[in-house]
Structures are given as C-alpha cells and as structure tokens.
Structure 1
Amino acid sequence: MTKTTMEIETSAELLENDILPKCREIHTNPDAQTLTAHKTPKALKTPNAQKSPAQWAYERIIMYIQNFEAQLDNDHEVGLGLAGGNTGVIKIEGLGYYDPDIVTYYGIDNSGARTQLIQHVSQLNVTLVASPKHSDQPEPTRIGFQLATALDNDADVTT
C-alpha cells in the first residue's frame, strides 16, 4: 500500500507560486532538448512581479540561449538573427538590459563590425542561429553558460 501525503499551501505560497515563472514546450522530436531540462538559475526563481519587463525578458533570453547552445556541435556558436530588419546575424558577445523596458545585444556582424542592438521589450523578436565559429578558435564561445552562471550567482552580467 502506498502512502500519499497532501501538501497544503498557505495563501502566501499560493500567490507566490502563481507569479513564479512557468514554461512549457512541446516538440515533434522526442529527443529535443527542452528549456526546462536545465537547472533553473536562482534569479529566475524570483517572482516576476519584483522585476522590470526588461530584467524579466533578459533572464529568459539567457535561458533560451543556453538551451540552444547545448544542442550545437563544436563547430558552431550561437548567433542572433533579428526579425524585421536588415541587420542580418550577429555573433552574440554580450546581453544586457536597462530598466524598465530596454534589452540590448552586443556582438559582431558577418562583416566583423561591432554591433549593438537596443530593443524595447514590446518589440522583442529574436531568432537564435547556429553560426560557424571562427576557424582560428579552438573551441566555440558559449556565452549562454556564462550568462546563466552569473544569473545563478546573482552577479551583474551586464557590465
């Protein structure tokens, strides 16, 4: 006989759990790596009511980048394709936000020019792209891991 227990939440716990981040993904490939397969950094466990839209978007983008990079081979890095513009793809070298509503991406475009995209959270529309790493690099750069580690440590990764 299996013993079951019932947990009762206080009204405060119910309210907090209602505003904590939720994520759901469905894929046609049963082997697809989902965002929820990764350990959630400490910063993402904070109720979103305590965050600006910019900070909230920034933290979730980091998780998507990290998950995308986990699926790449050693010859590719994450690039950022921007919808609705002719910027093309940039190799992501940094990500930041400016409260209350700006997210910014730092990187290098296909021609090697330094690039910074400043985007309002209401216009957030990003495509992650597998970009070949530079041939002189022994290993691809994995910025998603660095950013997620900083989120877990409550470090300011925007500086």
Structure 2
Amino acid sequence: MSDEEIRTLAEAHEESALLRSRAVHADPDAPATAEQKPLPEALCARPTEEKSPAEWAYERLILYIQNFEEQLDKDEEIAMGMTDGGAGLLRIEGIGFFAPDIVSFYGRDMEGGRMQLVQHVTQLNVTLRALPKPKGEVEAQRIGFRLAKGLGRGETTGE
C-alpha cells in the first residue's frame, strides 16, 4: 500500500468519525443553531457508534434545548408542543433516556399539572415553544443549561 493510499484511508476513517450536520437560514444574521455550533467535548468523549439511538438523541436534544433557550427573553421559558395535538404543551423540567430506544420528557402542563412524555426514538418529533414564565416566578427556568452540565459526568449513560 502506498503512502497516498494510507493517507486516503486515514482521511476516510477520520471523515466517517466526524459528525455531519448543517443548517441554512434565509437571514444571514440569524443566531447560530445547534447544528452550526461545535459539539461540546463531553459529547465527543465516546464514539457515536457506542451510543444507543436513545442516548444519542437525548444528547442532541439537550443541545437544541440549550440553543433555543439562549434566544429567549428573560421572561420566557421553554415548552414542548405535543405532535398529536390533544395533549397540549409541556413546560420542560427534565429529559431522560432509557437505552436503547426510549426518550422521555418531564414537566408540567399549562395548569401546573405534572406531565411525562415517553417516546420511541423512531417516533421522535419535538416542537420547542417560547412561553411566558408562570406568574409569580421570579426568574424563568433554563433547563438546557442544567442538562448540558450533566453531559460530561456520565449522567447520560446511567453510569
């Protein structure tokens, strides 16, 4: 095998390990999206091939939530719209996964009742919404930043 073939093989291996993502917006001044930002080191610590679909979906959902929250006003919080239309909105208070294929969301509905959505990764559809913080709350919650703190501590793998 020539040096050029070895280099090409190494480049192909490196390219296959790189994550592929892209987002294009009509507004060139639009805020950066989760796909456009570099991945945190904690997400790159283990190869994606070693992660279950649920774990990998969970980790990327955290990035989407965190990015969405970075663009909220100080009096807004993140909520999730249900795709079936009948369950309403879930004010996100937590997210989890159960390998290999379940992702779960924890929170409250608009009346303050507890809610949990358990979803198979093949059915995963999430609509993130900005809502006013609940009356009487001093500060809007930022769940994305709390979730992101756990990414590098084994909290995503159940270790």
> Could you say whether these structures have the same fold, taking a TM-score greater than 0.5 normalized by the shorter chain as the test?
yes
- Greater mean deviation of Cα atoms: 83-92 or 122-131: 83-92
- Work out whether 1:76 is the aligned partner of 2:76: yes
Say if 2:55 and 2:99, in contact at 8 Å, map to a contact too: yes
TM-score normalised by the chain length of structure 1:
0.84
Structure 1 segments unaligned to the other structure (5+ residues): 1-7
CA separation of 1:158/1:83 partners in 2, compared to 1, >3 Å: closer, same or farther? farther
CA separation of 1:128/1:26 partners in 2, compared to 1, >3 Å: closer, same or farther? same
TM-score normalised by the chain length of structure 2:
0.84
Q: Separation in 2 of the partners of 1:21 and 1:154?
A: 21
Aligned amino acid, residue 17 of structure 2:
I
**RMSD (Å), alpha carbons:** 2.2
Deviation, 1:41, is 1.9
CA separation of 1:12/1:47 partners in 2, compared to 1, >3 Å: closer, same or farther? farther
The percentage of aligned residue pairs carrying the same residue is 50
Q: Separation in 2 of the partners of 1:25 and 1:109?
A: 31
Structure 2 segments unaligned to the other structure (5+ residues): 1-5
Say if 1:96 and 1:158, in contact at 8 Å, map to a contact too: no
Q: Which residue of 1 aligns with 2:103?
A: 103
**1:24 alignment partner, SS class:** coil
- Relative to its length, the structure with more helix (as a share) is 2
Aligned positions of 1:2-151 closer than 5 A: 11=9, 14-33=12-31, 34-36=33-35, 38-45=37-44, 46-151=46-151
**1:65 alignment partner, SS class:** helix
- Greater mean deviation of Cα atoms: 27-36 or 130-139: 27-36
CA separation of 1:31/1:9 partners in 2, compared to 1, >3 Å: closer, same or farther? farther
Tell me the number of residue pairs that the alignment of Structure 1 and Structure 2 aligns.
151
- Greater mean deviation of Cα atoms: 66-75 or 83-92: 83-92
